[in-house]
Amino acid sequence: MWWFVIGYVLGHVGFLLGSMPVIVAGGVIFMYGAYTVVYGRDGRD
């Protein structure tokens, strides 16, 4: 759940700053959060 929040905030801040690396980082963290929710744990089976 926290990965969604952190990723969303990072992406939003990056969008406001116009900083592409920050947007990408937020997107990666958000997708990691989605992955953990879908597959249960953190993918390190």
In a domain, 44, yes or no: no
Q: How confident is residue 3, by pLDDT bands cut at 50, 70 and 90?
A: confident
Instruction: Give 10-45 pLDDT, tens digit per residue.
Output: 888 888 888 888 888 888 888 888 888 888 765 555
How far, in Å, CA of 42 to CA of 40, rounded? Answer: 7
Structural domain including 9 reads 2-39
Q: Contact at 8 Å (CB) between 32 and 7?
A: yes
pLDDT score, position 40: 73
What's the pTM? 0.58
Of the candidates 18, 16, 13, the one whose C-alpha atom is nearest the C-alpha of residue 29 is 13
Domain count, the chain: 1
In a domain, 13, yes or no: yes
Q: How confident is residue 8, by pLDDT bands cut at 50, 70 and 90?
A: confident
Task: Indicate the burial class of 20 (C-beta count within 10 angstroms; 0-12, 13-18, 19 or more).
Answer: exposed
In a domain, 6, yes or no: yes
pLDDT score, position 36: 80
